[in-house]
Amino acid sequence: MQRARINLQVTRRQLFGRAAGGIGATALASLLHGETPGAGPHFAPKAKRVIYLFQSGAPSQIETFDYKPLLKKLHGSELPDSIRQGQRLTGMTSTQASFPVAQPIFDFKQHGQSGAWVSSLLPHTAKAVDQLSFIKSMNTEAINHDPGVTFFQTGFQIAGRPSIGSWLDYGLGSENQDLPAFVVMVSQGTGRSADQPLYDRLWGSGFLPSKYQGVKFRSQGDPVLYLSNPEGISGGDRRQFIDDLAQLNRIKQDEFHDPEITTRIAQYEMAFKMQSSVPELTDVSKETAATFDLYGPESRKPGTFAANCLLARRLSERGVRFVQLFHRGWDHHTTLAPAIRGQCYDVDQASAALVQDLKERGLLDETLVVWGGEFGRTVYCQGKFTPEEYGRDHHPRCFSMWMAGGGIKPGVTYGETDDYSYNIVKDPVSVHDLHATLLHCLGIDHTKLTFKFQGRHFRLTDVHGRVVKDLLA
């Protein structure tokens, strides 16, 4: 009778799924025996993994890396129509009667053998410039935060597609069967405490199987929710529970051949392994005093960007494929000067330390580090305009990022903007180009990493993207 009731519930999808009965069992066996599900690289990779330091809220390129000496002379003048070229503005400044040019109040100097220009706000980054590759000509299609961040994470402005870490997990698999292939950490900056929200879908798997979604680590309590056993439950009890539950799930898998059941079995197994691997990973008590000094005083405070950078290094040396750090607080529409001081303090020393630490441990050549936000900032002032107080609106036309490590040429600056840091005048780099270049460093042809969904073969770069060969080592 029970079998008859189940058969009456069979859908068209389930019918075809049962016809391919052996496929689900094969996939399940692969997962449970720790085999890498990814197809592997298309050619020899330079990098094995990525640490992406995402600066959420959009850092001003004018106050950080894009030095424009003529702004001192142009300060207070109206942004010429010939520069703006009728380009769109956000609703926050489109009604302004005036668009006065605001010079940065912070000094710039050249550093290292490469002679890269860096703001006085970033003294530690300045010392590392010969390890970095600066892109001055990034541009994006998005002009507001949510589509902008979503675009950088998924290659599309509308939510629903897989995040970049999920694509890498799907394409390359995991190097460590006791830890997730894709880990996310979020920190709150001191520059703006009530900054733009971040949603779990930004590290979601979209239409890929859910086992490829990112795992968010927390800074309080268990690093991962429900990692600890409930009171009275031993490790042996937990093992028996997971084994028994897996058997029940296999019964349903044999009946319905639903890939999400396979995912659930694998996730329970990973959760059990993480009960041992994650506490060891997050216990930084054995790190040396010199290491904490390298990352700065904030590195001893769980949940800070600096502490997360240290954990990112520990994750990377354990083979985690993609580590993404989101640092909020960069949305400086008003009172930019004091706010950006705080933000740069948060990230400067730790970002440079991460690159140095990876290099000293022999990991930088195989680890790609990326630093940047979702767009840039306008040269004209938003809001109050005084010698010490000004703000900047969103600016997708041009902004700066940097990369370092696996597969990237060190000590170079690529791309150029005009005297107002408003338009690109040489070597533009789109979001799709950045993704294509990142994948190339990992041995992936971005046109071949695809997944068929709703009758179409999707990819991270959609139908766009080119590898920026001048950035490659």
The confidence band for 12, taking pLDDT boundaries of 50, 70 and 90, is low
- Looking at the structure, tell me whether residues 236 and 367 fall in a common domain: no
- The residue-averaged pLDDT of 220-230 equals 75
- pLDDT confidence of residue 405: 97
Domain count, the chain: 2
Within a domain: residue 420? yes
pLDDT in tens, 15-55: 544 444 444 434 443 443 333 446 789 999 999 999 999 99
> What per-residue confidence (pLDDT) applies to 320?
97
**Mean pLDDT in residue range 266-274:** 72
Q: Which two tokens stand for residue 462?
A: 């959609």
Mean pLDDT of 445-457: 96
In the prediction, which pLDDT does 236 show?
Answer: 82
User: How confident is residue 269, by pLDDT bands cut at 50, 70 and 90?
Assistant: confident
Lowest mean pLDDT among 266-280, 328-342, 414-428: 266-280
pLDDT of residue 2: 45
Q: State the average pLDDT for the chain.
A: 90
The answer to whether residue 244 is domain-embedded is: yes
CATH of the domain at 316: 3.40.720
Please tell me whether residues 15 and 108 are part of one structural domain: no
Q: What pLDDT does 241 receive? A: 76
Q: State the residue range of the domain holding 269.
A: 1-33+229-289
In a domain, 294, yes or no: no
Give the model's pLDDT for residue 19.
46
Q: Count Cβ atoms below 10 Å from residue 35 Cβ, excluding itself.
A: 12
- Of the pLDDT bands very low, low, confident and very high (cuts 50, 70, 90), residue 14 is low
pTM score > 0.85 for this model? Answer: yes
Q: Are residues 312 and 404 in the same domain?
A: yes
